[in-house]
Amino acid sequence: MECTARYDFTAKRSDELSFREGDTLKVIIDPEKNQEDDWAMAELRGRTGMVPKNYITSPEWFYRGLSRAKAEEILLDKEPDGAFLVRESESSPGDFSLSVKFGSGVQHFKILVDKATRRVFLWVKKFDTINGLVDHFRRNSVSKTNNKMVLRDMVKKKASVTDSIQGACGSNGIAGQFQQKQSQWGKVAQQKVMKPPVDLKPRVKAMYDFEPQDDNELELRAGDIVEVLDNSDHDWWYGKLRMKKGLFPSTYVQEIK
């Protein structure tokens, strides 16, 4: 997924990636890892690192956490044949689907990822980014059985969609939650925001696996990056990982410097 930087960002930790406003970043889809709610792994000029999602913005056709049913509701609302959107699974973050309106229904295609190369595909031809996949199927039918199912942009803008829908890489697209009211969204999208978002929460890296014993605890796998929401208790911290919040032992994690 190619995203555009909305602001300058200077890395503060060794695993982060610096970029400038206007840079085009390739957000890496790794099927083996669930990325954090607020951070994504990205590549820029041969370097990779974590970037804050609310500093970048994605194409209009991308939605995060959008259900299959909601996608159908949007596309069947007076949209033309070929109208489409790409959505990140609400139940399985990191998995993506292409939803296309055709006739009286909507067809859903799972976007597959080659684990070795991280290239994406639907059938045989593979692409470096979801953007490249989308561009290809604007000129070629996405369906194996219907040679007329080419992609075209939706008539309605995101501003007309209810504010319960989330963006997915940055505000306006893929990143933070879609919190502006419907009537305000268009204005926000058109205005150049001069100040970057507030600083994000501190993050730590899990050194060991941790199996939760209670419902209010957070499962950890070695290598997971956890956003720390509260570390006032010496032994148990409260954090967020893979869209879940819970407690975890502070001795199982290490600060990212």
Query: What is the helix (H) or strand (E) element at residue 65, kind and residue range?
Result: none
> What pLDDT is attached to residue 162?
37
Q: The domain at 203-255 falls in which architecture?
A: Roll (2.30)
Domain ranges in the chain?
2-56, 62-179, 203-255
Quote the CA–CA distance of 177 and 168 in Å, as a whole number.
8
**Cβ neighbours, 10 Å, residue 95:** 17
**Cβ neighbours, 10 Å, residue 170:** 25
Beta bridge partners of 205: 225, 254
Q: Where does 62-179 sit in CATH, by number?
A: 3.30.505.10
> What pLDDT is attached to residue 187?
38
φ and ψ of 172, to 5 deg: 85, -15
* Residue 209 clears pLDDT 50, i.e. is over it: yes
Which of the residue ranges 96-105, 149-158, 172-181 has the most confident prediction, judged by mean pLDDT? 96-105
Closest residue by Cα to residue 96 from 127, 120, 72, 125: 120
Closest residue by Cα to residue 225 from 198, 254, 249: 254
Q: The domain at 2-56 falls in which architecture?
A: Roll (2.30)
Asked if the domains at 62-179 and 203-255 fall in one CATH topology, the answer is no
* Residue 184 clears pLDDT 90, i.e. is over it: no
> What pLDDT is attached to residue 222?
92
The model's pLDDT over 121-146, given as tens digits with 9 standing for 90+, comes to: 999 899 988 999 999 999 999 988 88
* Residue 193 clears pLDDT 50, i.e. is over it: no
* Residue 27 clears pLDDT 80, i.e. is over it: yes
Taking CA 178 as the corner, what is the angle to CA 232 and CA 128, rounded to the nearest 5 degrees? 100
**Cβ neighbours, 10 Å, residue 147:** 9
Confidence of residue 170 (pLDDT cuts 50, 70, 90): low
